[in-house]
Every structure is written in structure tokens, then in C-alpha cells.
Structure 1
Amino acid sequence: MSGTSPSTTLSNTLDLARRTEALGYHRYWLAEHHNTPSIASSSPAVLIGQIAAATSTLRVGAGGVMLPNHQPLVVAEQFGTLAAFHPGRIDLGLGRAAGTDPLTAQALQRGGGQPRGDTFGAQISEVLGFLGAPGGGRRGPVAAYPQAETPPPVWVLGSSPNGARLAAELGLPFATAHHFSPQNTVNAVTAYRRSFRSTGNLAAPYAVVAAVVIVGEDDAQALRLASSVEIAHLELFTGNLGPYLSPEEADRAPYSPQQRQIARESFAPQLIGGPETVRRRALELLAASGADELMALTIVHDHTARVRSYELLAQALAGGPAAVSSQPAAALGAG
């Protein structure tokens, strides 16, 4: 965020985790992004350890670890360690993209010999094998230590029916990226449920839909708060990446009314509005997609406003059928 140091940003992340836990949220995921000034989440395993240590009931996980950047053995070692520290509270979401630009991806993978995205399923099987989870590939004499008594659940992250079918084939839970690919949400979850077969990790299909959720006191305030992420969307496509701007800074950003309108329209499928608006749209999204859980990505500039959005969302969905989880940064790399 503009005007905020990395230390303050990370401190706010811990504060948000504690507050969402107190509000009754049950899952808190962190993404992997590199060379992105607006996201302080290049090392999700490190962040997960800090947040799990600062909370007691939240499931804390990666949404996700981008497998092209890592050797499966290292991923299994990291998350086996986390699961041993925090039994029953760690999730491992795996994505097929690099979570960054091509030059940074090359720097991450230089000399490592990592497989590319077209071997995503094989990489997941390797991770499962090293974790000692059902469905994993055999690794011979190589094992990941320490191993938790119960391996952390492995999730497949995706934004299309192809990723959904892979999750179904492997018998793993699936998280779909409505926040950047809303046109595929319904088809992806439908394909996942139709193709699911149990492999010992999960008895029945389980799907999360991750959406941008910004709740204000009313629709007008929420739209005002959303101007920061709308400008960030424009900057992503113009290559002018920087910290998230405040609404006042967003007003002064050098974009035309036409560009701003395009950005606003791109967020129309997301859940942005006052409590009643967001409640209605959240239940509609869960019903249309068939997802079991809503994951809320609340990207606003002001930390107090961000916390308040999660408070309003919890109140709006209190007593409803939706399971709700939180994520402090969008998982833009999941493909």
C-alpha cells in the first residue's frame, strides 16, 4: 500500500488474521507473487508459519505455492514442517503458473531444472508422495522430513475446467479463481463435481470459490473503496505496477474516464457493495457455482476499512449456509 512500509504491511496481515479468527472465519490463505510492489507475499511458507503461530483456530495455508518455482521435495519439506508445528491447521494449495512476469520466472527457475506447467499433475503427485499422502508417486529412498502425523490437505488451484478436471482426477479439493476468471467459475466447479473420483484424500468433492469481496457501510462507500483495486487492474495491463493507491490517489491516476469504466466493468462479477448487496450476491454466486465455500479477497488501501469489510461480511452472512474464509492478497498466479 502506498505510504506503508513492508514491516507495517506484514504487521497488518497478522492483525487481520487475529481479527478474522475472532469473527469466526475458519481459513486464511496467502498467495505467492514475485517482483510485485503491491503484494508482500513472495514467501507464503514463511508467512503461514508466522500467522499460524499468532492464531489458534484458523486453518492457514497457501493459495497457493506456484509449483514451477519450486522442487516438489522442498515444498513437501516446508509444509510437512508447518503441519508438524500446527497439526490439523495447515493447507497446501498448488498452482501451475509462476505468479510473476517471464523475466522473474526465469530468475526463479534458473539452474533448478523445474518442470514447466504442462507437467503440473506429475508435480502434484510428487508432492503427495513426499508428504506420504494417498495418491502420491513413489520416491524410492528419498523422503521429506519432518513428516507430520497427518499430511496437510493438498488443494489444486485453477481458473478453468482443465484445472478442475485435474483436481477431480487426483481426488483433491479445488479452489477456483473467480477473482480473475469469473467467466469460468460455474463451468469449472461443474466439471470438477462431475469428474471427481476419490483417491483416499477426500471422500467427496469440495470446492472453494475465491472472489474479490469489498463491503462498505453502503454501496457507494464500497465502490469508493474498490477504486484502489480498479486502478491496480489498469496498472497491471499497462506495466506501471506500484503500491496500491488510496482512493484519493486513485482519483489522480493518469487514466481516462473510458479506461476507468472498463476497469469498473471488469469487477462487475465480484462482490462489491453494502452488506445486503454483498449477502445477496454471495449467496447467488455459491448457488450458481455449486461451491461449498466462499473465500473473500478484500483488497483495499486502508487497513481499518479492510478489517471493517470482513466484519460487515461476517455479519451479513451470519446464520447463512455459506462457509466463509479470508485471504489478504489475491491469488493471481493460480492457473
Structure 2
Amino acid sequence: MTDLTPPRLSVLDTVPVWQESSAAVSLRHSLDLARHAERLGYTRFWVAEHHNTPSLATSAPAVLAGQVAAATETIRVGSGAVLLPNHAPLAVAEQFGVLSSLYPGRIDLGIGRATGTDAHTARLLRGPRAAGPEEFVHQLAELMGYFAPPTAGADVVAAIPRVSPGPPVWLLGSSASSAVSAARMGLPYAYAHVINPADCVPALRAYRDAFRPSPQLAEPYAILAAGVIVADTGPEADRLGWSFAHGQLLSRIQRGTTLPRPDQTDAAEFTPAHRDFMRQRLATQVYGDPDTVREQLTELVRESAADEVMALTMIWDHAARVRSYELLAGLLDGARAEDARMAVEGRG
């Protein structure tokens, strides 16, 4: 196989919290991972949003993005994603206006239409007037309006600090409908292969087919966000892959807790149904030694025509997680990584 193309690689972090650890430790690991990613030449580092989920410490993406930006110097930083139904658009515009003012040219604003939590928690986040999914398009238009150039004489509320143009707005999703929505608005799009691998290729094709140029983006640009685990050897990758699947199973069984550590699990206790679930979860991952992962990602990128791969690596051993990103970065030569960094402002 040829080298992975296109050259851009990025990081998505959900800040997993494991048993016998803490959210504070996981957040520090996130900052450490961001520094490694920058040193390795990754294009951007995004953090997710989840609520009422003890196993994921990403309840405040704007706050965490600010800490990541402060801990780094050049890598782009953003949300993957701010889940807009949970927020007032004005508040999001102000938060990312502050970030863009402090870290000009480095902030991305990824937006999603889900809530990332249960219905009761979603109501508590926004109160009795919480926005429903059907209001998402209006919310997004309002948000983007705060970053538009001011209209002379217009009596409108401004998001302060005012930044125009604002940070690049991305739409995130895991379906053809979200892909087409991004295309029709002329926005860059990030597809969550990690959630719905089956529809990835048709969704990204639909995005390119339906794309309409906009002031923000002249040509379609798509990120493929995938679960990726790379290890030095195939057997080690298998071990880490199954540890991911074990953690997913135990998290499902033990809801409302931090993530169980797979290394402390007795595999003999797993039923056939448990093993089927783990195989299904493992099938969502791109995993293996560097040659295997290069081959898998090259084929995935070729089929989807993605412009960028954003890797989410969910393994409990922080050193192994950092090593996975090191090996993944090694699939690119230094010149390509430098080209990716220099091209960010023009395309991403």
C-alpha cells in the first residue's frame, strides 16, 4: 500500500475516566496528550461534550479547549462538538469569541445536534425552554450570525468580544442527513465513523455531492473521526483492542460509574452474548500494527474521500495511548506533517 493520504491527522479526546483514577488525572492526561500531539505534527485537537457521564470528563468543552490551547502553542484546538441544544447560541458565541481572541487563528468551533446525555439532564442544562432537535437549524443560524460582520445602524445584540470572522464552524454528525445539512450550508463536516461506521462512505459522498460554496468554505472539506488503536506489534494491538472492547462491555453493564479497567477483569465471566458485544465494538475500531493500520486507513480514506482523519483512542493505559498516537503519526513522513501544519489556515 502507499503512504496514508491525505496527510492530515488530528486527535479527538473524550477524556475517559477509569476506575481507581479520577477526572482530575484524566484531564491532566488530556493536556499531556495535546502536547504530544502538537510535537508529533497533528493538525488539531478536539474535545467532546458529555453530561451526567462519570466515565467521560468532557462536560465543559469550551473550558477544556481553553486549557488545551494554553498548554500548547501551534496546534488547532476546538470542540468535537459543542452540542448546541444544550446551550444558548449567544453564550457559545461569547465563549468561543474569548478563545479566538486569546488564541487567534487556532480555534475551531465544532457543533453537534445531539444532547450527549439523557432527556432529564438535557432539560436541567437548558431549563424548561430547552431547544428540541427541530430547532437546531435556527440555533445554528443564530450562532453563525453572531460572527457575521456588524450591520450599520442595526439594533442587534452582539457577542462580546466581537470576532469577525469568527472561528471556523464545523458541523459534526453520523448520518447522511447531517452531511447534507453541512453541505447545503457550505460548512466543513466531521463524520463520526466511531459511532456509525456503516454509513460513513455514503454520508461523505452525499456531503460532496450536495456541497454549496459559502463565504467560509469554497470547496467541501470532510474529517473522518475514527476509533484508532496502533501498537508496535500485532499481538499487542490485539491486546489493546480487546481491552477497549472489555471496557465498553463493562461500562454498559456497570452504568453510572467510571470506566472499569479491563486489566482487572476475569474474562471467564463473559457470556457468549458479552463476547458478541465485544466483537461488535471492536469492529468499529481501526487497530493493528502500523502496517495494518496504514492499510486500513488508506482504504477507508480512498473510499470516503475524507480530507482528514481524526483519531479517538480509548485505551486505559495512558502511555500506550500516547504510543498509539506516536505510531499513527509515524505513518506520515516529516515533510507531509509540516505541509499539513502550514495548510491549516488555508483549508481547515
What TM-score do the two structures reach when normalised by structure 2?
0.86
- Residue 119 (structure 1) aligned with residue 135 (structure 2): yes
Q: Deviations over 1:297-332 (max 9, x none)?
A: 01100110100000111112336979989xxxxxxx
Query: Given the alignment, which residue of 171, 183, 187 partners 1:172?
Result: 187
User: Residue 129 of structure 1 aligns to which amino acid in structure 2?
Assistant: G
Matched-pair contact (CA < 8 Å) for 1:229–1:244 = no
Matches within 5 A, 1:275-294: 275-294=290-309
> CA separation in 2, counterparts of 1:20 and 1:130?
31
Partner SS, residue 21 of structure 2: coil
Segment of structure 1 superposing worse, 141-150 or 229-238: 229-238
Deviation of 1:62 after TM superposition, in Å, equals 0.2
Deviation of 1:234 after TM superposition, in Å, equals 2.7
1:78 maps to what in 2? Answer: 95
Matched-pair contact (CA < 8 Å) for 1:49–1:82 = yes
1:4 maps to what in 2? Answer: 21
Query: Given the alignment, which residue of 37, 40, 57 partners 2:54?
Result: 37
Gapped runs of 5+ residues in structure 1? 326-335
What TM-score do the two structures reach when normalised by structure 1?
0.89
1:96 maps to what in 2? Answer: 113
Gapped runs of 5+ residues in structure 2? 1-17, 342-348
Structure 1 residues 225 and 167 mapped into 2: Cα distance closer, same or farther (>3 Å)?
Answer: same
What's the RMSD between the two structures over aligned residues? 2.3
Q: Deviations over 1:214-242 (max 9, x none)?
A: 11112221221123431343345546243
> CA separation in 1, counterparts of 2:126 and 2:237?
40
Structure 1 residues 143 and 3 mapped into 2: Cα distance closer, same or farther (>3 Å)?
Answer: same
Segment of structure 1 superposing worse, 210-219 or 236-245: 236-245
Q: Percent identity?
A: 48
Matched-pair contact (CA < 8 Å) for 1:27–1:60 = yes
Matched-pair contact (CA < 8 Å) for 1:34–1:104 = yes
> CA separation in 1, counterparts of 2:329 and 2:91?
36
Segment of structure 1 superposing worse, 266-275 or 192-201: 266-275
Q: Deviations over 1:237-266 (max 9, x none)?
A: 546243223331244595314322332233
1:309 maps to what in 2? Answer: 324
1:332 maps to what in 2? Answer: none
1:328 maps to what in 2? Answer: none
The number of equivalent residue pairs is 321
Q: Deviations over 1:177-198 (max 9, x none)?
A: 1001001101110010000001
1:218 maps to what in 2? Answer: 233
User: Residue 248 of structure 1 aligns to which amino acid in structure 2?
Assistant: D
Matched-pair contact (CA < 8 Å) for 1:38–1:242 = yes
1:153 maps to what in 2? Answer: 168
> CA separation in 2, counterparts of 1:133 and 1:190?
32
User: Residue 259 of structure 2 aligns to which amino acid in structure 1?
Assistant: Y
Matched-pair contact (CA < 8 Å) for 2:251–2:257 = no
Partner SS, residue 330 of structure 2: helix
